[in-house]
Structure 1
Amino acid sequence: MGAESRPIRAAIDIGSNTIHLVVARCWPDRLDILADELDLTRLGESVNASGAISEEKIEQALAVIAHYVALARRLGAETILLIATEAIRRASNRENFLERIEQQVALPVALISGEAEAVLTFYGATYELYHTGRAPLDLGVVDLGGGSTELVTAHDGRITWRCSLPIGSGWLLDRYLTSDPPTRQERATARAFLRDYLQALSIPYYPPVLVATGGSANSLWLLAERAFGLPSHQRSLSGDDLAQCEGLLAALSASEIAERYSQPYKRARILPAGALILRSLLARLGLDQLLISPHGIREGALLAYERYGPAWLHEVERQGAVGDQDRTLDQQQVTEGASPDSFLAYGRRLLTERLEKMLSWRRLLLKEADEEAIHKMRVASRRLRAALDAYQGYLEPVAFKKLYRRLKKTAALLGTVRDSDVLLLNLQALLTEAETDDRPALLWLLAVLEEQRGQQVAVLEKHLRELDGEALRAQLLACFAEEEC
């Protein structure tokens, strides 16, 4: 059958960061792409802030989707697939949002699971490698999205393990990297969170080759090409390339990155988070290089439809493997990944250890509020909150919020005193080198700051006396109660 007689189909991926259209002539194992368009709508931004998709974001999304549906029909698409992923799965008003899309374009929207998202991403990211015979026997795929990250490993074209992590570049940006560019401390906190989160993930097999897809991965490759002269034919990023990107993104604002390196501003704003996640994954897997694929879930959906027809999503959800292949019991067990019990047991132990570490500094601070103890307790409280962030999706929500609020207030009070300590140290250094005429003003400012610090310490000590260690331990246990019952 010639290319002209192949069906033209379209897939629209409604994701956390982007709404993305691909139109292609379709074969079961390859695609001839006719159009590839995306819009950085960032639906996940409002979901991260409030738990719901805002009306403004809904209106933007409806306009983009209507435009893409019209474009697909102009190009002759006989089938148009609409797929919604992580941000929509998490949105409290997802049903209303999906209904409004279906009313506007008269097409159904498939709200797919994280597992189906991982499988479709594998199809899309690797089909060119398999079609051309360049795929290694063993490989892994990572799809870095705005609200989730999908991980897949495969042997000889068959998926052996998959998981969907509820963290993405938009999520990390909104939660940790709020400055533009992100501060050194923000990046350090985000890196600590990622290290803790990924360390708790049980990965049964470490692939020798990792293929990365998604908007952030491809934009980082373009940034490295334009900023550091990577060859345009080299669709890969080393660990050093990512480190260079991270350094550049820490030095320049998103608007400067956008202007100098021809990146959309919204994408440039997300890239620091993308670089951190990809570097952390490479470290976790013991690899030093990523192959970058321009294809992903949209292409995967088109291939799946061509293989399975209208029942494509049912087959993807059921089989979880490339092609029409049944999995053995052993394969099913490996594919489902780590046992939730072991994951939660590790989390409970980790959180308990970090809570006890923070409380040990509390006892010292109540004896003497010296600079070192304040700094150490602040670090301990932030590490505890980073670990809580890693497990938030698995913990009882009400208990989690109560514990997190108390820890956040504790960290804020510690931070206030710590900031005063840093200012005092800097002033004291200036005083030793100051001219005679400048000393009275510096001494006056030093006295004001010391009095201010005394007041801050008094507030902190009152808070620490009221910070009941037993109550905190009980709140932590309550976070796990629902999961472990």
Structure 2
Amino acid sequence: MGVESRPIRAAIDIGSNTIHIVVARCWPDHLDILADELDLTRLGESVNADGTISEEKAQAALAVVAHYVALARNLGAETILLIATEAIRRASNREAFLARLEQQIGLPVAVISGEAEAVLTFYGATYELYRAGQAPLDLGVVDLGGGSTELVTAHDGRVSWRLSLPIGSGWLLDRYLPSDPPGRQERAAARLFLQEYQRKLSIPLYPPVLVATGGSANSLWLLAERAFGVAGPQRSLSADDLAQCEGLLAALSAREIAERYGQPYKRARILPAGALILRSLLARLGLDRLLISPHGIREGALLAYERYGPGWLLEVERQGALGHQNQASEAPRGSIAEAEENFLAYGRRLLTERLEKMLSWRRPLLKEPEEEAVHKMRVATRRLRAALDAYRGYLEPAAFKKLYRRLKKTAALLGAVRDSDVMLLNLRALLAGADTQERSSLLWLLAVLEEQRSQQASALQEHLRELDGEALHAQLLACFAAEEEC
């Protein structure tokens, strides 16, 4: 059968971050891609917020899908496959949304399981490697999506194990990285959560080669190419490349990344989360590099349809179920809830330790507000506030604000005394080398600063006398009360 006689088919993937279409002439092991477009609709943003697809997101998605269906038909697609993944699976109003979508476009939408998603991703991400004879005997595939991450291992071209994790770049962004760019404490909290969660993954085979697909993985490769000159015969990223990307994304806002490196703003906003997830996964698997594939679930669906016909999804689900039987469990020992519980338990312990460290300097300062003790307590207070910032999204808001206001006042009083101490130290150094004419002015200024410092120290001591350590401990525990009730 010649090229022109091959069927043209389209696959539209309605995901958490994007709605993505691929139109191609199809063979069982090859695709001639005619169109490849995506829209960063971010359905998962509203699902992450309150568990539903908002009306605004629903209308945007309906418009994008209708446009893509028209595009596919204009290109002569005789089959159009619509598949929905993690954001739709989790949405409480998914049935109403799907009914609206199917009524508007006149086509069925398949909400596929995590097992099927993993198998289709493997097909799409690796078909070029197998066609070129470059695929190793054992390899792994990771599909970093907005609402989930699919991890697959294969032996000799057959899926041997798969895992669908309900953690994606959009999910991590919304949950842990609200600032733009994300702050150091936010990144540390996200990294700690990923390490705690991935530590519990039971992976039977550590693949020597890992192929990454998904919009974030490909955009990170593009960022590394444009920002750092990463190049090679194959698209790939090392752990060091990802570390450089993470540093750049921490230094510049999404708007600056978009303008400097040709990234869509919405994609640039998600990239810090993507870099964190891929770096942590490489570390977990003991690898220092991953290959990047521009293909994924859409191409996998087209290949599956060409191989198995109209019953393609049943066959894919069957293969996914076999992969499920080969794994220890659907989720790691310790679900997201358990990992976050461990994360919160660690946070409670960390914050308690830092509060006790801060309070340990209270008694010396009540006796005599010496320069060193002021400095030590100020540092301890700043470290406590930084840890609170990292956990803010998980703490009971009213209790957090009450505790934070008290600590902010403590920090301000300590800072005022410390600033005076530094100025006095510098002034005394100037005085030691001053001539007779300068000394009188410096001595006057020294007396003014010493009086100022004395007043500030008195205000600090009065505040510390009122600072009730037991009450602060109780306020700190109250911050975690909402999570303990869940």
**Deviations along 1:446-469, whole A, 9 cap, x unmatched?**
839966993998488535336779
Give the 5 Å matches for 1:54-453: 54-231=54-231, 233-320=233-320, 327=322, 332-335=324-327, 337=329, 355=348, 404-406=394-396, 415-416=404-405, 419=408, 423=412, 424-425=414-415, 427-428=419-420, 430-432=422-424, 443=452, 447=456
CA distance in 1 between partners of 2:27 and 2:116 (Å): 20
| Structure 1 residues 346 and 14: CA distance shift in structure 2, 3 A | closer
CA distance in 1 between partners of 2:455 and 2:41 (Å): 49
Give the 5 Å matches for 1:44-59: 44-59=44-59
Please state whether the residue corresponding to 2:22 is helix, strand or coil. Answer: strand
Contact 2:216–2:267 (Cα < 8 Å) also in 1: yes
CA displacement at 1:4 relative to structure 2: 1.5
TM-score by length of 2: 0.81
**Deviations along 1:26-53, whole A, 9 cap, x unmatched?**
1121111110001111111222223222
CA displacement at 1:263 relative to structure 2: 1.0
CA distance in 2 between partners of 1:234 and 1:146 (Å): 25
- 1:68 is aligned with what amino acid? Y
Partner of 2:463: 454
Structure 2 stretches of 5 or more lacking a match? Answer: 363-376, 428-441
Aligned residues: 451
| Structure 1 residues 170 and 215: CA distance shift in structure 2, 3 A | same
Contact 2:139–2:209 (Cα < 8 Å) also in 1: yes
CA distance in 2 between partners of 1:213 and 1:12 (Å): 16
CA displacement at 1:284 relative to structure 2: 1.0
CA displacement at 1:166 relative to structure 2: 1.4
Contact 1:413–1:460 (Cα < 8 Å) also in 2: no
- 1:209 is aligned with what amino acid? V
| Structure 1 residues 474 and 171: CA distance shift in structure 2, 3 A | closer
CA displacement at 1:279 relative to structure 2: 0.8
CA displacement at 1:143 relative to structure 2: 0.8
Please state whether the residue corresponding to 2:23 is helix, strand or coil. Answer: strand
CA distance in 1 between partners of 2:325 and 2:141 (Å): 19
CA displacement at 1:417 relative to structure 2: 5.1
- 1:179 is aligned with what amino acid? S
**Deviations along 1:147-180, whole A, 9 cap, x unmatched?**
1111111111111221111111112222222222
TM-score by length of 1: 0.81
| Percent of aligned pairs sharing the same letter | 65
Contact 1:366–1:465 (Cα < 8 Å) also in 2: no
**Deviations along 1:180-219, whole A, 9 cap, x unmatched?**
2222222122111111111122222211111001111101
| Structure 1 residues 409 and 230: CA distance shift in structure 2, 3 A | same
**Deviations along 1:104-154, whole A, 9 cap, x unmatched?**
111111111222211111111111111211101111111111111111111
CA displacement at 1:345 relative to structure 2: 11
CA displacement at 1:82 relative to structure 2: 1.0
CA distance in 1 between partners of 2:449 and 2:152 (Å): 65
More displaced stretch, 28-37 vs 460-469: 460-469
CA displacement at 1:91 relative to structure 2: 1.9
Contact 2:51–2:90 (Cα < 8 Å) also in 1: yes
Partner of 1:24: 24
- 1:31 is aligned with what amino acid? L
- 2:215 is aligned with what amino acid? G
Structure 1 stretches of 5 or more lacking a match? Answer: 322-326, 390-403, 480-485
CA distance in 2 between partners of 1:71 and 1:412 (Å): 51
Please state whether the residue corresponding to 1:76 is helix, strand or coil. Answer: coil
CA displacement at 1:234 relative to structure 2: 3.4
Please state whether the residue corresponding to 2:11 is helix, strand or coil. Answer: strand
CA distance in 2 between partners of 1:343 and 1:87 (Å): 18
Contact 2:197–2:336 (Cα < 8 Å) also in 1: no
CA distance in 1 between partners of 2:461 and 2:10 (Å): 63
CA distance in 1 between partners of 2:289 and 2:217 (Å): 12
Please state whether the residue corresponding to 2:126 is helix, strand or coil. Answer: helix
- 1:97 is aligned with what amino acid? F
CA distance in 2 between partners of 1:169 and 1:188 (Å): 16
CA distance in 2 between partners of 1:457 and 1:93 (Å): 51
More displaced stretch, 140-149 vs 442-451: 442-451
CA distance in 2 between partners of 1:466 and 1:252 (Å): 36
Contact 1:15–1:88 (Cα < 8 Å) also in 2: yes
- 1:102 is aligned with what amino acid? E
Instruction: Provide the aligned C-alpha RMSD in A.
Output: 3.7
Please state whether the residue corresponding to 1:248 is helix, strand or coil. Answer: helix
